[in-house]
Amino acid sequence: MKKQSRQKPKDKGKQFNINRQIRAVEIRLVGDNVENGVINTREALKLANKLDLDLIEISPNAKPPVCKIMEHSKFIYELKKKDKDNQKNQKIKEIRFTPNTDEHDLEFKLKHAINFLEKGNLVKASVFFKGRMIKYKEQGEIILLKFVSELSEYGSAITLPKMEGSRMAVTIKPKK
Give the pLDDT score at 107. Answer: 92
- How crowded is residue 172: how many other Cβ atoms within 10 Å of its Cβ? 26
* CA dist., res. 174 & res. 67, Å (int): 37
Q: pLDDT by residue (tens digit) across 96-111? A: 988 888 889 999 999 9
Task: Return the pLDDT at 13.
Answer: 46
The predicted pLDDT at position 165 comes to 86
pLDDT at residue 88, as a whole number: 58
Domain locations along the chain: 19-86, 90-174
Could you tell me the CATH superfamily of domain 90-174?
Answer: Translation initiation factor 3 (IF-3), C-terminal domain (3.30.110.10)
* Residue closest to 156 by CA, chosen among 130, 131, 109, 123: 123
CATH topology (fold) of 19-86: Ubiquitin-like (UB roll) (3.10.20)
Strand-by-strand arrangement of the 26-30 sheet: 37-40, 26-30, 66-70, 54-59
For position 87, what pLDDT does the model report?
Answer: 60
pLDDT of residue 108: 92
Nearest to 173 by CA among 154, 149, 146, 150: 154
- Termini Cα distance of the chain: 56
Could you list the pLDDT tens digit for every one of the 176 residues in the chain? 444 434 334 444 457 777 888 888 888 888 777 778 888 888 888 888 888 888 888 888 888 888 888 888 888 888 888 777 666 567 888 999 888 888 899 999 999 999 988 888 889 999 998 888 888 788 888 889 999 999 988 888 888 888 888 889 999 988 87
| Contact assessment for residue 157 and residue 125, using Cβ atoms and an 8 Å cutoff | no
Question: φ and ψ at 100, to 5 degrees?
Answer: -110, 45
